[in-house]
Amino acid sequence: MNKKEKVEFIIRTLEASYPEVPVPLNHKDNYTLLVAVLLSAQCTDERVNQITPHLFALADNPYDMLKLSVEEIKAIIRPCGLSPMKSKGIYGLSKILVEEHEGKVPQSFEALEKLPGVGHKTASVVMSQGFGVPAFPVDTHIHRLMYRWTLSSGKNVVQTEKDAKRLFPEKLWNKLHLQIIFFGREYCPARGHKPHICPICKEIGRKNMF
């Protein structure tokens, strides 16, 4: 099948497999989503969801977060990994939200990416899942599958995001990036992948790397 047919097949398969896609990270508003996404860097969503209830019981808003010290935050989030950097990021972004944004998470990529510890992927998740703005956050699952399905070169996540946005309809981005993540975890893992039974790879072929 050509690339257009491949994209259409992928969309149909993902929609049939995951007609409803919950946001993997537990949160109650855009601030707790922002913190949870920051914590998810090089950490599983499951682990983050185990840690955030303890953190948010003490501080589920930037004002209360500033009442904690960086060391106190670090002690709570240590199981998520990279706790020295993440704790400084959470405290620092909370300070900026209070001082510059009236305690609210800003609704723009530019403002979000200026916050400590917030890169383009984190900003994209908040914009798409928090504000409903079309975005295509690329995590390791999406980066791997876009390459495996020969839809991107796999050189870097920046190129993968550009390719995903070019190939898939904008109206589907926010749901589709979650569908790909769920599919990657269930059927198309980095290790132990079985292309002969994977609902997509067995139909479209795949590259052997990633």
Active-site positions read: 121, 139
DSSP string, 37-64: HHHTTTS-HHHHHHHHHHHHHH-SSHHH
Q: What is the DSSP letter of 127?
A: I
Q: Could you tell me which residues come within 8 angstroms of residue 128 by beta carbon, excluding any fewer than 6 positions away?
A: 134, 135, 136, 137, 173, 174, 177
Q: Which of 8, 1, 3, 51 is nearest to 27 (CA)?
A: 51
Q: Which of 63, 27, 70 is nearest to 45 (CA)?
A: 27
Rounded to whole angstroms, the Cα distance separating 179 from 105 reads 26
